[in-house]
């Protein structure tokens, strides 16, 4: 086909097999592709395969590979890889199941609930599973009465054995029977697996538990589909492994288990496995995760279950120990040439142990190992064997003993299980080795591959047959389709007389033949066969082209492994054994066999016969195929090796099935799927309603395709046709994309133009504004300059005037100052003289004054010093604190002294000046007169100055005081600042503490709020528990009363009789009721019964009313209806029983009759329609009985009973109410001392019977509703095709609301619920029962919808989520309409499905984190359930991506971690089958019924037994 740029393709690559790629350039002869590894490769178009363009949508995988758009090799490979990454290990290919080994535990896939989910479900309806295949085979066997077979194949380590176990486990689950003895058939079949694994499985390079034999388990069933028998057949046990193993492989498991068995190993003189030659050829003795000793005891337990006696078990393990000792026997050359003998004492010890364990003669054992006898006509010739021949003889004996022991074990298992010869149908499970191709391939690989060739031929025929059946079911015209057959391959191997097996047998018959002669003859006869090739570097090796590839075989050991000699000495040795098991394995040979020491038997021919018988068995059955795949060679989970899986798919025939499909119509799509994908090719026909088949035909005709067929439901296309449609679809989508892009670009360009235009207008407006602002600024600056110039000129003129004025004034002042200074200097000189005179006079007086003053001061200082010293001691402490203040004070005092001194000097100078003025006044009168004015002025100035000095003195004193105060204030302020800083630090620390305390307070408040809420919850629970405790105390009181009454009754009545009546009336098995009457009666509560000869017990009235059963039967069988909401039948029955004093009778026949009549009505065909009627009647009758018993004091507290009762013979000492008093007086008047006790017993018994009856009716009604609603739910979980999103027709906005259902499926459920409510209300069922019933019904709806969502991938889609969400909204509306009185908590019961559907319909799932999903969106769902939904989800509406890979990986890790910790790992929900109420709940919830106003129906008026009711009315 032609590829264009952008096409998605697959390109072949050596390392990965196939790589995803995209075409980047398409040339004429080559195509350039870009791989997923970002490499560009140029390849031929023929080497490319097309890839689906929409594969990333819908999760990127399909559960059935026939749904792949391109059914090719890489599509199959990568589909398996994507599913394996999501732990989806099962995938269908049509009816073939492919199982990929997860190499981890997935217990949630295999529990009993999962088996129940797949029970009876059609193959393909649920997710792929091995249980689905097993169920399909079982249903086909039951329905068609034809035997089935399940073929499990795969390479070593792929999980064949585990898959076989699961199939057998499921078959025993659906076809199991009740265990009649200690060992049922199904249990023995299951337990045979570990037993056969111990003796037939071993560790290989690829698998720790590889089956080294083929096994076909045939499970037989009877006509009812129950297991009736079983048989096990085995094929080609690898006997050579007993004597030869390679490192790191192991021998069969049983040898290592026996060596680790402890005391049993010591009993057989066994040590560690490394001490035995048959085991120490490999250094691997232990398996990871497996304890050999535990496995040993499991093997012994399996032997017990399958019926092997302890003596036979001992013989089996002795034989195994003997084989190990036999392998340690070594030989050395004997005295004669070509002879041998036991090498040393160690070998002799092992020889003796072997003889002891085999219970045979040691000498005979040595003789059989070191020599052989030849019978001739002259006599017997004994020929000695050399060391090599003796070793080979020893190994032959070991292999023969083990092989026969294994065959005996299988035969004994079959005998123990037992076969059903009358069985008409069987299911066979074939667990056989897969195709093997190693570096060195020997005879075992040749036989295994031969078996796989035969099975592949059968597989091809089956696949071709299934193809033809599908063509026939779709009613299309088809012709015979040729497919590659491998008959020529089988002829090469098994055809006589020149097949490989025939030539090998012929070579084995001649003693002197070697592998060289065999190979030469084979090449000579078969050289022309196209499947056989001769290798280049070996003359004896040959290659065969199998269906799975070419395999090269080495013929070195072909002849030895094909010869199965029957050595006469070995048979004689072991037939003479004293061990019955061994002697039975080796019976004496016939006469003609004894003549030859070695009797040849061909292993290949015997295997061919077994294989032919197996193929005949398989041909007579309908086959089912399970192909197991090993994802990697290191047995690690989540590792997928492409090349290895691709090789296994080829070997398993899966790709061969693909080729067969490609030969016919490989592409098949339902019409709806075809229209969804290719409807875009004819958009003109997609408008409105259309016929999908006609539309499909129109599309194909428009594309001018011829190689197609239209079936009933599907369209079939030849190979390559889907690619043509995809190319045309891609062109249409490309054209549409171009158109959309053109429109979008136009929109963007116009948007950019409008945006640019608006921007230019804005720029122009801004520029104009800037220009206008600039012009305004210039004009403003010009006006400002003119104003500035005016003011500057004014200032200059003003300044010049002021300078001239000030110059004139300065000159005048200078002249005047000069004159005044000259005059003042004269006066100053005069004053100076006067000052000097006055100073001298003052000096003389002052010196004298100073002398007296010093003496006085000295005396004063001495005295003051004396006083100061006294005060010094007192003030020293305070002086230290006020030191700085004192210094400042001293300085201020010094300054004050200086100022005082200056003031006195100035005063004295002034006084002297005045004196000189007075002396010279007389001399200078004239001068004084002229200067009198000036002198007066000077005097006035001096006075003013003096006044100023005085004022300054006062101010100085005030300032000194203020300074002192300021000093003290400053000190105080400094201290306050220090304190303030300290306080600030304290406040800061306190604020920090306050913030911490506020945080703690907020957290404490939150915690207190939480604790308050918890306390409220606890208080609510406590009150609820107290209420329950009160109820339980009342119930305990009632039960004690009942128990006391029943014990008293049991004292007089046979427990057997009462228990039989009671069990028969309720319908329970006797084993459940025996404990009621087997409790011994305490003697302290019982007093001797006094017997009076003078009084006779009068018969109770009920004995005179045995004919009243008829009226009760009519009341029960006929529908008497209701009156004012009260059930008539219950009221009439209760009135009759009360009138007939049935509660006073010792016999319970009338109660048994009532219960039996109700049970008979419920067993009738039309009983389902009357269940609500009888639920209403029985519950009303039970409540009447319960409330009447309580109101009449029949149930009292234990203390009241102990005080009021004096034993069986005592009378009532205290009466609670008048009614009871009258009743007790009437009893006493009749002289019946036991009446009250006897009156309690039938009422208690009848109440128990009614309780069981109510629970039975409720459960039956609930189960019937579940059965009726199940088909409606099965069609509601998946949206009909008409409501799904069509291409190009999705809603315009992703946020559009959920679509409304366009069909009536959900309406049917709502109608069903409405009909149910109408029925329950018509029958006046109490709201308590309706609420419980609706709640359990909605819980069942939640479980069914949620489980279906998790099991069906087509349901986990966006459009289906919208559909289910719209349906749930209808249920929510219905719940709201019926009110909480009847619906209860039904809406909360839908939590799981509501959250799951809400998760499906949210947008932008890739942005959601794991916390948001698990805590906000789906808080009720577990991580396993969320992971299941995420792995199955795909968006079929908007084709968007799902959850991000990081979130999915995180969920997968959490699921894997939690797998080992969970008890139940199932992601499905379990149904609740319990009864959600008790008798006390009924009495408290259902209101009391007033039966007094219920009248007798007219149909019963003529009956004589109820005339008392007419009289009363």
Task: Tell me the pLDDT tens digit for each residue of 827-884.
Answer: 999 999 999 999 988 988 989 998 998 899 989 888 888 888 888 888 777 766 666 6
Tokens at residue 1060, please?
A: 């039989």
Percent of the chain with pLDDT over 70: 79
Nearest CA to 1353 out of 181, 275, 90 is that of 90
Q: Cα(414)–Cα(306) distance, rounded to whole angstroms?
A: 9
Q: Which of the following is catalytic: 93, 137, 153, 161?
A: 161
pLDDT at residue number 1068: 34
- Longest CA pairwise span in the chain (Å): 205
Is residue 1102 a contact partner of residue 1142, using CB atoms and an 8 Å limit?
yes
Those residues whose C-beta lies under 8 Å from the C-beta of residue 1328, and which sit 6 or more positions away, are 1477, 1481, 1482, 1485, 1486
Given a cut of 70, whether residue 1466 has pLDDT beyond it is no
Q: Which of the following is catalytic: 69, 127, 149, 211?
A: 211
Q: How many CB atoms lie within 10 A of CB 1032?
A: 14
Q: Hey, which residues does 229 pair with through a beta bridge?
A: 220
pLDDT at residue number 1153: 72
pLDDT at residue number 1090: 36
Which pairs count as long-range contacts for 525-528, CB under 8 Å and 24+ apart, including other chains? 525/498, 526/492, 526/498, 526/500
Task: State yes or no: cis peptide before 248, omega within 30 of 0.
Answer: yes
Q: Is 379 a catalytic site residue?
A: no
Q: Cα(865)–Cα(879) distance, rounded to whole angstroms?
A: 16
How confident is residue 138, by pLDDT bands cut at 50, 70 and 90? very high
User: Cα 115 from chain centroid?
Assistant: 18
Q: Hey, which residues does 42 pair with through a beta bridge?
A: 32
**Averaged pLDDT for residues 227-256:** 88
How confident is residue 754, by pLDDT bands cut at 50, 70 and 90? very high
pLDDT at residue number 1284: 47
Q: Cα(1440)–Cα(1285) distance, rounded to whole angstroms?
A: 13
Q: Which of 520-524, 703-707, 1303-1307, 1346-1350 shows the highest mean pLDDT?
A: 520-524
Query: Model confidence over 1227-1236: pLDDT tens digits?
Result: 333 333 323 3
Tokens at residue 1077, please?
A: 């009457």
Q: Which of the following is catalytic: 156, 193, 251, 1178?
A: 156
Those residues whose C-beta lies under 8 Å from the C-beta of residue 1492, and which sit 6 or more positions away, are none
Q: Is 1212 a catalytic site residue?
A: no
For Cα atoms 979, 984, 988, give the angle at the middle one, nearest 5 degrees: 150
Given a cut of 90, whether residue 62 has pLDDT beyond it is no
Burial of residue 240 (number of CB atoms within 10 Å: 0-12, 13-18, 19+): middle
Q: Cα(191)–Cα(198) distance, rounded to whole angstroms?
A: 12
Q: Cα(31)–Cα(20) distance, rounded to whole angstroms?
A: 14
Those residues whose C-beta lies under 8 Å from the C-beta of residue 452, and which sit 6 or more positions away, are 153, 433, 434, 435, 546, 548, 651
Nearest CA to 443 out of 599, 564, 609 is that of 564
Query: Model confidence over 1481-1503: pLDDT tens digits?
Result: 776 777 666 666 666 766 666 66
Q: Which of the following is catalytic: 20, 191, 330, 436?
A: 436
How confident is residue 417, by pLDDT bands cut at 50, 70 and 90? confident
Q: Which of the following is catalytic: 17, 154, 157, 334?
A: 157
pLDDT at residue number 1178: 82
In a 13 Å sphere around the CA of 119, the CA atoms on its Cβ side amount to 15
Q: How many CB atoms lie within 10 A of CB 221?
A: 24
pLDDT at residue number 657: 67
490-499, 1186-1195, 1265-1274: which range is least confident on average?
1186-1195
Q: Is 944 a catalytic site residue?
A: no
Nearest CA to 126 out of 1095, 1352, 1464, 1445 is that of 1352
Q: How many CB atoms lie within 10 A of CB 340?
A: 23
Query: Model confidence over 1004-1035: pLDDT tens digits?
Result: 777 767 767 776 776 777 777 777 677 666 66
pLDDT at residue number 1058: 34
Given a cut of 60, whether residue 1289 has pLDDT beyond it is no
Tokens at residue 794, please?
A: 């004014």
164-178, 600-614, 630-644, 718-732: which range is least confident on average?
718-732
CA distances from 1186 to 165, 1116, 1179, 1191, 1222 (A): 55, 20, 10, 9, 21
CA distances from 597 to 368, 393, 600, 629 (A): 11, 12, 10, 46
Q: Cα(1214)–Cα(1220) distance, rounded to whole angstroms?
A: 10
Q: Between 1244 and 646, whose confidence is greater?
A: 646
How confident is residue 1038, by pLDDT bands cut at 50, 70 and 90? low
Q: Is 1107 a catalytic site residue?
A: no
Given a cut of 80, whether residue 1345 has pLDDT beyond it is yes
Q: Cα(906)–Cα(885) distance, rounded to whole angstroms?
A: 31
pTM above 0.95, yes or no: no
157-171, 285-299, 966-980, 1374-1388: which range is least confident on average?
966-980
CA distances from 309 to 268, 300, 412, 415, 498 (A): 19, 10, 11, 13, 48
Q: Is 207 a catalytic site residue?
A: yes
Q: Cα(1229)–Cα(1224) distance, rounded to whole angstroms?
A: 8
Q: Is 977 a catalytic site residue?
A: no
Task: State yes or no: cis peptide before 585, omega within 30 of 0.
Answer: no
How confident is residue 1166, by pLDDT bands cut at 50, 70 and 90? low
Q: Which of the following is catalytic: 79, 210, 441, 1159?
A: 210
Which residue do the tokens 């059955």 mark?
621
pLDDT at residue number 814: 93
Q: Which of the following is catalytic: 93, 95, 101, 207?
A: 207
Q: Is 1339 a catalytic site residue?
A: no
Query: What mean pLDDT value characterizes the chain?
Result: 78
**Averaged pLDDT for residues 1043-1061:** 45
Q: Cα(133)–Cα(453) distance, rounded to whole angstroms?
A: 23
Q: Is 1199 a catalytic site residue?
A: no
pLDDT at residue number 1189: 61
Q: Which of the following is catalytic: 434, 499, 652, 653?
A: 434
**Averaged pLDDT for residues 1067-1092:** 34
């Amino acid at each position: 086909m032609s590829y264009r740029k952008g096409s998605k393709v697959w390109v072949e690559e050596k390392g990965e097999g196939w790589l995803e790629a995209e075409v980047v350039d398409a040339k004429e002869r080559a195509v350039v592709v870009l791989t997923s590894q970002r490499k560009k490769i140029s390849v031929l178009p023929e080497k490319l395969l097309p890839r689906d363009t929409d594969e990333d949508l819908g999760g990127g995988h399909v559960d059935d590979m026939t749904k792949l758009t391109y059914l090719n090799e890489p599509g199959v490979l990568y589909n398996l890889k994507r599913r394996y990454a999501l732990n989806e290990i099962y995938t269908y290919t049509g009816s073939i199941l492919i199982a990929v080994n997860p190499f981890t535990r997935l217990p949630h896939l295999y529990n009993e609930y999962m088996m129940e989910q797949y029970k009876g479900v059609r193959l393909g309806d649920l997710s792929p599973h091995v249980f689905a295949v097993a169920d399909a085979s079982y249903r086909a066997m039951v329905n068609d009465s034809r035997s089935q077979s399940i073929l499990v194949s795969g390479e070593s380590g792929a999980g064949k054995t585990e898959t076989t176990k699961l199939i057998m486990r499921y078959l025993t689950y659906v076809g199991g029977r009740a265990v009649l003895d200690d060992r049922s058939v199904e249990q023995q079949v299951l337990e045979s697996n570990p037993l056969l694994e111990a003796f037939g499985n071993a560790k290989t390079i690829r698998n720790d538990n590889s089956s080294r034999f083929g096994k076909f388990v045939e499970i037989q069933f009877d006509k009812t589909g129950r297991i009736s028998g079983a048989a096990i057949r085995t094929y080609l046990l690898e006997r050579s492994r007993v004597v030869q193993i390679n490192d790191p492989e192991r021998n069969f498991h049983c040898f290592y288990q026996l060596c680790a068995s402890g005391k049993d190993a010591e009993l057989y003189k066994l040590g560690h496995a490394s001490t035995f030659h048959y085991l120490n050829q490999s250094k691997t003795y232990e398996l990871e995760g497996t304890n050999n000793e535990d496995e040993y005891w499991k093997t012994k337990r399996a032997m017990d279950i399958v019926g092997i006696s302890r003596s036979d078990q001992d013989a089996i393990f002795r034989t195994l120990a003997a084989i190990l000792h036999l392998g340690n026997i070594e030989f050395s050359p004997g005295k004669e040439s070509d002879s041998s003998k036991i090498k040393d004492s160690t070998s002799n010890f092992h020889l003796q142990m072997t003889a002891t364990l085999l219970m045979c003669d040691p000498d005979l054992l040595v003789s059989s190992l070191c020599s052989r006898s030849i019978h001739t006509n002259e006599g017997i010739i004994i020929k000695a064997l050399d060391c090599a021949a003796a070793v080979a003889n020893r190994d032959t004996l070991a292999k023969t003993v083990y092989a026969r022991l294994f065959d005996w074990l299988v035969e004994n298992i079959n005998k123990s299980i037992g076969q059903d010869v009358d069985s008409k149908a069987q299911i066979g499970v074939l667990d056989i080795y897969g195709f093997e191709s190693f570096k060195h391939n020997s005879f075992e690989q040749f036989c295994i591959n031969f078996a796989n060739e035969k099975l592949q031929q059968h597989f091809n025929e089956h696949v071709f047959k299934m193809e033809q059946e599908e063509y026939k079911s779709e009613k299309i015209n088809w012709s015979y389709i040729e497919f590659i057959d491998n008959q020529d391959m089988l002829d090469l191997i098994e055809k006589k007389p020149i097949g490989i097996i025939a030539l090998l047998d012929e070579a084995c018959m001649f003693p002197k033949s070697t592998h060289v002669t065999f190979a030469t003859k084979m090449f000579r006869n078969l050289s022309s066969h196209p499947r056989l090739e001769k290798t280049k570097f070996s003359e004896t090796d040959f290659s065969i082209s199998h269906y799975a590839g070419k395999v090269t075989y080495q013929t070195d050991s072909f002849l030895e492994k094909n010869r199965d000699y029957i050595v006469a000495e070995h048979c004689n040795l072991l037939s003479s054994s004293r061990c019955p098991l061994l002697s039975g394995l080796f019976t004496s040979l016939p006469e003609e066999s004894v003549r030859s020491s070695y009797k040849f038997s061909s292993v290949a021919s015997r295997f061919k016969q077994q294989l032919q018988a197996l193929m005949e068995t398989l041909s007579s059955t309908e086959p089912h195929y399970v192909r197991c795949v090993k994802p990697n060679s290191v047995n690690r989970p989540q590792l997928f090796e492409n090349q290895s899986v691709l090789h296994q798919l080829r070997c398993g025939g899966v790709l061969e099935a693909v080729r067969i499909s490609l030969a016919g119509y490989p592409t098949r799509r339902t019409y709806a799927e075809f229209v969804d994908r290719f409807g875009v090719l004819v958009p003109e026909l997609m408008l409105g309603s259309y016929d999908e088949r006609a539309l499909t035909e129109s599309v194909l005709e428009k594309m001018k395709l011829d190689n197609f067929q239209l079936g009933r439901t599907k369209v079939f296309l030849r190979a390559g046709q889907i690619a043509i449609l995809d190319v045309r679809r891609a062109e249409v989508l490309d054209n549409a994309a171009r158109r959309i892009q053109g429109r979008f670009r136009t929109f963007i360009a116009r948007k950019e133009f409008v945006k640019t235009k608006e921007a230019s207008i804005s720029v122009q407006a801004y520029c104009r504004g800037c220009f206008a602002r600039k012009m305004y600024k210039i004009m403003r600056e010009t006006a400002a300059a003119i104003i500035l110039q005016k003011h500057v000129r004014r200032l200059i003129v003003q300044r010049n005037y002021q300078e001239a004025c000030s110059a004139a004034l300065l000159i005048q002042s200078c002249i005047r100052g000069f004159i005044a200074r000259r005059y003042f200097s004269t006066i100053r000189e005069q004053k100076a003289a006067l000052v000097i005179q006055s100073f001298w006079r003052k000096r003389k007086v002052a010196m004298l004054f100073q002398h007296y003053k010093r003496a006085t001061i000295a005396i004063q200082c001495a005295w003051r010093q004396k006083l100061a010293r006294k005060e010094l001691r007192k003030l020293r402490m305070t002086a230290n604190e006020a030191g700085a203040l004192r210094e400042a004070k001293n300085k201020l005092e010094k300054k004050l002294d200086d100022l005082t001194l200056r003031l006195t000097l100035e005063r004295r100078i002034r006084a002297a000046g005045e004196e000189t003025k007075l002396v010279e006044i007389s001399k200078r009168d004239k001068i004084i007169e002229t200067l009198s004015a000036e002198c007066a002025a000077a005097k006035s100035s001096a006075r003013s100055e003096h006044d100023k000095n005085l004022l300054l003195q006062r101010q100085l004193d005030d300032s000194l005081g203020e300074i002192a105060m300021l000093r003290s204030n400053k000190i105080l302020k400094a201290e306050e600042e220090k304190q303030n800083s300290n306080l600030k630090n304290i406040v800061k620390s306190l604020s920090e503490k306050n913030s911490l305390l506020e945080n703690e307070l907020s957290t404490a408040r939150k915690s207190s709020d939480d604790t308050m809420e918890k306390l409220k919850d606890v208080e609510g629970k406590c009150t609820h528990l107290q209420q329950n405790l009160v109820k339980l105390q009342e119930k305990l009181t009632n039960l004690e009363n009942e128990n006391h009454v029943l014990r008293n009754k049991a004292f007089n009545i046979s427990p057997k009789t009462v228990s039989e009546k009671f069990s028969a009336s309720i319908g329970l098995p006797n084993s459940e009721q025996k404990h009621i009457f087997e409790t011994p009666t305490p003697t302290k509560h019982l007093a001797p019964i006094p017997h009076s000869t003078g009084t006779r017990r009068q018969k109770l009235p009920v004995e005179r009313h045995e004919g009243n059963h008829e009226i009760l039967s009519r009341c029960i069988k006929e529908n008497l209806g209701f009156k004012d909401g009260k059930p008539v039948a219950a009221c009439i029955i209760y009135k009759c029983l009360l009138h007939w004093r049935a509660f006073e009778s010792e016999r319970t026949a009338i109660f048994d009759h009532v219960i039996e009549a109700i049970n008979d009505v419920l067993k009738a065909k039309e009983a389902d329609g009357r269940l609500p009627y009888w639920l209403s009647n029985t519950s009303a009758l039970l409540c009447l009985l319960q409330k009447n018993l309580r109101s009449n004091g029949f149930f009292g507290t234990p203390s009241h009973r102990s005080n009021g009762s004096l034993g069986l013979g005592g009378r009532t000492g205290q009466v609670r109410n008048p009614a009871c008093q009258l009743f007790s007086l009437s009893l006493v008047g009749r002289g019946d001392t036991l009446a009250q006790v006897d009156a309690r017993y039938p009422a208690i018994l009848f109440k128990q019977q009614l309780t069981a009856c109510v629970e039975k009716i409720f459960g039956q009604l609930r189960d019937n509703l579940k059965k009726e609603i199940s088909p409606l739910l099965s069609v509601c979980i998946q949206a009909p095709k008409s409501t799904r999103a069509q291409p190009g027709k999705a809603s315009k906005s992703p946020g559009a609301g959920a679509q409304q259902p366009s069909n009536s499926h959900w309406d049917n459920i709502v109608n069903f619920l409405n009909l149910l409510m109408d029925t329950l209300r018509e029958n006046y069922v109490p709201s308590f029962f309706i609420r419980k019933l609706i709640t359990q019904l909605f819980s069942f709806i939640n479980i069914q919808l949620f489980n279906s969502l998790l099991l069906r991938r087509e349901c986990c889609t966006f459009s289906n989520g919208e559909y289910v969400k719209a349906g749930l909204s209808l249920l929510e509306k219905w719940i709201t309409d019926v009110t909480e009185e009847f619906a209860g908590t039904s809406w909360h019961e839908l939590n799981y499905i509501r959250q799951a559907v809400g998760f499906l319909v949210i947008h932008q799932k890739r942005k959601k984190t794991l916390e948001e999903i698990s805590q906000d969106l789906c808080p009720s769902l577990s991580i396993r359930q969320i992971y299941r939904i995420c792995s199955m989800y795909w968006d079929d509406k908007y084709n968007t991506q799902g959850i991000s890979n990081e979130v999915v990986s995180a969920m997968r890790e959490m699921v894997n971690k939690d797998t080992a910790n969970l008890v139940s790992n199932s992601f499905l929900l379990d149904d609740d089958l319990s009864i959600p109420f008790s008798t006390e709940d009924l009495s408290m919830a259902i209101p009391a019924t007033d039966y007094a106003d219920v009248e007798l129906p007219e149909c019963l008026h003529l009956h004589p037994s109820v005339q008392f009711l007419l009289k009363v009315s």
